[in-house]
Structure 1
Amino acid sequence: MKHIESVNNPKVKQWKKLLTKKERDKSGTFLVEGFHLVEEAIKQGEQILEIIVSEKVGLPPRWDAGAIPVTLVTEEISNSLTDTEAPQGIYAVCRQANSEVQDAKTFLFIDAVQDPGNLGTMIRTADAAGIDAVIIGRGSVDIFNSKVLRSAQGSHFHLPIIRGNLHEWIDKLQEKNIPVYGTALEGASAYTDIPTAESFALIVGNEGNGVSKDILASTNANLFIPIFGKSESLNVAVATGILLYYLKK
């Protein structure tokens, strides 16, 4: 086990750079924080590159890190790697997966969702609902943003999450006779009017503007969730959960 004590160590500087999207894209890696996320990374195995742990914390005895490199750091270094108010003192550097979608039947498409908490919650919900893949369109927050990772609670290691062109994906699925459903407040059908199916794609959109009109124009049908109270709309992550669990056969 290596031990680093200086915040000026080149390794520490590289870890800190992973707090920026620019460096994550450049290096093809990302940083997860906290016992749960690091444990999920260890279970997945292939993506994890190294573990970083504060000398005041240590690795839980139940963990089998195997041949994964572990570096012990000072509390000062550990605290420099976090943007949380109550850091747990444990991190992992992980490789961004080159996700491929094979034989997938159910999809969640995300169009320009900008709130990291919403995006992470939707990824986690898709995972829980047994969705095969999540496709992230242009304009959405970075999928490896630290708040997205915390909200997704390890689901990044459970299912393919792919940045892609939603128009191309819609065309691809419709060629395979997989229905694609948008979400809209106008010109849409109540979601309960649509039959459940073994194959489908659901598109959800930006918190303020919803799914873009050009995407809505290319779907098989657009859905809405009735509002029975005085609220104008549902949070996009909540709406996503309702629709995915309804549509999933």
Structure 2
Amino acid sequence: MEIRKISSARNDRVKHWRKLSTRKGRDEYGSLLIEGIHLLEEAVRAGWSVRSVIIPEEGTEILNRLPKLEGVPVYSLLDSTFRQVVETQAPQGVAAEVGMALERGPFQPEANNRVLLLDAIQDPGNLGAILRTAEAAGVRDVWLGSGTVDPYNPKVVRSAMGSLFRTRIRRVDLKKAIPDLQELGYTVIGTSPRANKSHFAFDYPDRVAILLGNEGKGISPVIGALADTNVRIPMPGEVESLNVSVTAGILLYELVRQSEDSP
């Protein structure tokens, strides 16, 4: 494996990788930077395109622990430059540029009877946790409405812990996407503390889309009005709301429970 050394922090490739820390840069180049062996292995296993591998000059031994990457260039940077490229304060000794893989083709409803709709989720940690929980619960299709944080934000990527690479993510206009799902036979379920029906007493249909809203404001009124119905999560304790990633887990695993209990 040939290692290409870069000795200057002003090198064009270094400038390119730094741009990937911003949404503008990721959208411009259609790629993102990931860190660590685990995420690189997950990306390769999921079939994502690896464009380059980046290591610090003192860390070439890590190459023996990486998955086989035929034809992928490896770049060695000065340790100080490597730390400028990566996001974490404790770099894991390897980073990689991979091509982004948003779903762009027509939606295939037969591939998944469950869809998760997110309206303006802003915290990267919340989105990452939601993606991981959704995958664990068997929900592969996650649609991101306007105002939702970039799914390729480094904090989202890290907190999703590999689930990002196996999730079919779409950026959509929920005002159009929800009626389209309803035409395909999906029942769209929102959440509200004022809903009459308890989430645990609701009989979820086979083809369902769960709608979750912003951390502070909840589901916007315009989007919420499009839902077929709302459910509430009982909260006997003295709290007003739950973290949206916790809400996602409660809702999605009730779907799992009902599926397993059905004949």
> What band does the TM-score fall into relative to the shorter chain?
over 0.9
Q: Distance in 2 between matches of 1:217 and 1:152?
A: 30
Identity across the alignment (%): 40
Matching residue's letter, 1:6: S
Secondary structure of the equivalent of 2:151?
coil
Matching residue's letter, 1:12: V
Query: Partner residue of 1:124?
Result: 132
Correspondence 1:236 to 2:250? no
Q: Distance in 1 between matches of 2:141 and 2:196?
A: 25
Query: Partner residue of 1:138?
Result: 146
Per-residue CA shift, 1:22-55, capped at 9, x if unaligned?
1111111111112211111122233322211223
Q: Distance in 1 between matches of 2:10 and 2:181?
A: 50
Which range moves more in the overlay, 73-82 or 105-114?
A: 73-82
TM-score with structure 2 setting the length: 0.89
Correspondence 1:80 to 2:78? no
**Cα displacement (A) at 1:21:** 1.0
**Cα displacement (A) at 1:163:** 0.7
TM-score with structure 1 setting the length: 0.94
**Cα displacement (A) at 1:72:** 1.9
5+ unaligned residues in a row in structure 2: which ranges?
none
The 5-angstrom pairing of residues 3-22 of structure 1 reads 3-22=5-24
Q: Distance in 2 between matches of 1:66 and 1:59?
A: 13
| Compared CA separation, residues 213 and 60, structure 1 to 2 (3 A) | farther
Which range moves more in the overlay, 62-71 or 166-175?
A: 62-71
Query: Partner residue of 1:173?
Result: 181
5+ unaligned residues in a row in structure 1: which ranges?
none
As a proportion of its length, which structure holds more helix? Answer: 2
Answer whether contact 2:182 2:188 (CA < 8 A) is retained: yes
Q: Distance in 1 between matches of 2:92 and 2:40?
A: 11
Q: Distance in 1 between matches of 2:165 and 2:114?
A: 18
Give 1:207's match in structure 2, choosing from 215, 220, 223: 215
Query: Partner residue of 1:40?
Result: 42
Aligned residues: 249
Aligned Cα RMSD in Å?
A: 1.6
Secondary structure of the equivalent of 1:77?
helix
Q: Distance in 2 between matches of 1:10 and 1:198?
A: 51
The 5-angstrom pairing of residues 15-164 of structure 1 reads 15-57=17-59, 58-61=62-65, 63-99=67-103, 100=105, 101-102=107-108, 103=110, 104-164=112-172
